[in-house]
Amino acid sequence: MQLEAYQIADHNNKLQETHQRKLSYWTGEVANAEEVIQKLIAFQIAIPSWALGTGGTRFGRFPGGGEPRSLEEKIEDVGLLHALNKSSGAISLHIPWDIPKDGEAIKSLAASYGLQFDAMNSNTFQDQPDQPLSYKFGSLQHVDRAVRQQAIEHNIDVIKHGVALGSKSLTVWLSDGSCFPGQLNFRKAFERTLDSLQEIYAALPDDWKVFVEYKAFEPNFYSMTVGDWGSSLLFANKLGPKAYTLVDLGHHLPNANIEQIVSLLLMEGKLGGFHFNDSKYGDDDLTVGSIRPYQLFLIFNELIDGMDRKGMNHATDLGWMIDASHNVKDPLEDLLQSVEAIQLAYAQALLVDRQALEEAREANDVVRAQEILQEAFRTDVRPLVAEARRRAGGALQPLSLFRQLDVRQQLISERGLKTIATGL
């Protein structure tokens, strides 16, 4: 299904008066409102192909129907999101879950929805049916060179698929590690992983980046070979200028100060990309902003500060992606909520009076510093986000329109109730 421009226009017309009233109030209150709106219009957040179906847990999965059955239908779903919010203009693929049979055709299908291909994701954390050697004891770290070689070749293959689609980056997330003390020689595991990554790095096109994603635990529960930002940064530094660290919000030990990590990685010029989600316990992959919106705001505050200091373009110089998927919501509604939460945190962080904050810090005025941050965080930026969407051709209230148009029911009629999206 495809949304028609008149459906969005009708929806916006009905809401226009109320929207305008709120907007005029906040544009009067917020000094840099126009700048915020322009930055929001430019800011695109990639949607992972695996979030379009209902996520499960190891205890079960409760699909809601109408889920995409093919890569083409996943692209169609992201196209729907993008038509509604004009901020989901990219899709991130996982290979082999999403192998494009005809790269050119897939690329032009995506282009017809205004979509680009964000980072390509390799998968050496599962064995595939036709795969000769197993990743049970790791992939790029494996003691057997032949297993490492198989994993290296898979990553190179993923790069090739990405080149055909116009992607410019590879994300490597490894489940490699150990489950029990004594199982692994940590140093050898690191060195083997580095050797393997170096071979993948050598296959990167000149204008590509590789993101080394870290994760503290799961599926290995004693050690993870790329377990934290320190080890990821070591790999990225040793690999070279095209290698960066990728921060996934759910991949830290409880209560980690992620905003501080972000600040230091940016200082080192080694932050490459972001996976947004939220969590209460571990890698819960919950809707962005559903549990700790203040933390998300503080992260954006550091992102903006660090990027501005380096003269980086907010919209294009880091890879922004959602990495969330779970059990009880309509996946498309959930993604609309996640995108909006990211935009709200970004907009609020753009309001921070940075000069006043620095002055408060230099004067050790702790109370004032906190007030400056919370002043921005407590500003209702929803009308600014809605206005950015409207000006870009999207809906003032994407979620309401999704429901009014009964999009899910239409997808169920087209695709059926019992569909299984490939992926996790």
The answer to whether 334 contacts ligand PSV (rule: CB under 6 A) is no
Q: Which two tokens stand for residue 379?
A: 């500003």
| Contact set for ligand PSV, span 111-130 (CB under 6 A) | 121
Whether the upstream peptide bond of residue 181 has omega within 30° of 0, thus cis, is no
CB of 38 to ligand PSV, least distance (A): 31
The answer to whether 213 contacts ligand PSV (rule: CB under 6 A) is yes
What DSSP assignment string belongs to 332-369? HHHHHHHHHHHHHHHHHHHT--HHHHHHHHHTT-HHHH
Q: Is 100 or 273 the residue whose CB approaches Mn ion more closely? A: 273
Q: Residues near 421 by Cβ (< 8 Å), separated by ≥ 6?
A: 50, 52, 53, 54, 67, 68, 69, 74
Confirm if 390 and 396 have CB atoms less than 8 A apart.
yes
Which of the choices ligand PSV, Mn ion, none does residue 121 contact, using the CB cut-off of 5 to 8 A by kind? ligand PSV
CB of 173 to ligand PSV, least distance (A): 4
Cα gap 256→251, rounded to integer Å: 10
The answer to whether 302 contacts ligand PSV (rule: CB under 6 A) is no
Cα gap 75→92, rounded to integer Å: 10
The answer to whether 176 contacts ligand PSV (rule: CB under 6 A) is no
Cα gap 114→108, rounded to integer Å: 9
Which of the choices ligand PSV, Mn ion, none does residue 340 contact, using the CB cut-off of 5 to 8 A by kind? none
CB of 122 to ligand PSV, least distance (A): 8
Q: Is 252 or 390 the residue whose CB approaches ligand PSV more closely? A: 252
Q: Is 25 or 125 the residue whose CB approaches ligand PSV more closely? A: 125
With contacts defined by CB under 6 A, how many residues of the chain interact with ligand PSV? 10
Interaction site with Mn ion (CB under 5 A): 248, 275, 283, 323
Q: Is 39 or 252 the residue whose CB approaches ligand PSV more closely? A: 252
- Taking the CA atoms of the chain, what radius of gyration do you get in angstroms? 22
DSSP 46: B
Q: Which of 11, 275, 329, 389 binds ligand PSV (CB under 6 A)?
A: 275
Q: Which residue has the tokens 């992607």?
A: 167
The answer to whether 276 contacts ligand PSV (rule: CB under 6 A) is no
Q: Is 120 or 341 the residue whose CB approaches ligand PSV more closely? A: 120
The one-letter code for the residue type at 92 is S
Residue from 181, 173, 182 nearest 216 by CA: 173
Q: Any idea what the Cα angle at residue 227 is, between residues 91 and 273, rounded to 5°?
A: 30
The answer to whether 248 contacts ligand PSV (rule: CB under 6 A) is yes
CB of 277 to Mn ion, least distance (A): 7
Confirm if 115 and 79 have CB atoms less than 8 A apart.
yes
Strand duo 209-213 + 169-173: pairing: parallel
CB of 110 to ligand PSV, least distance (A): 20
Q: Is 275 or 389 the residue whose CB approaches Mn ion more closely? A: 275
CB of 248 to Mn ion, least distance (A): 4
Q: Which residue has the tokens 């050790």?
A: 364
Site string for ligand PSV, 28-57 (x = CB under 6 A): ----------------------x-------
The answer to whether 215 contacts ligand PSV (rule: CB under 6 A) is yes
Q: Is 173 or 402 the residue whose CB approaches Mn ion more closely? A: 173
Q: Is 65 or 282 the residue whose CB approaches ligand PSV more closely? A: 282
Strand duo 209-213 + 177-178: pairing: unpaired
Measured from each CB, the residue nearest to ligand PSV is 173
Long-range pairs for 253-256: beta carbons < 8 A, 24 or more residues apart: 253/216, 253/217, 254/281, 254/282
Binding site for ligand PSV (CB under 6 A): 50, 121, 173, 213, 215, 248, 275, 283, 323, 424
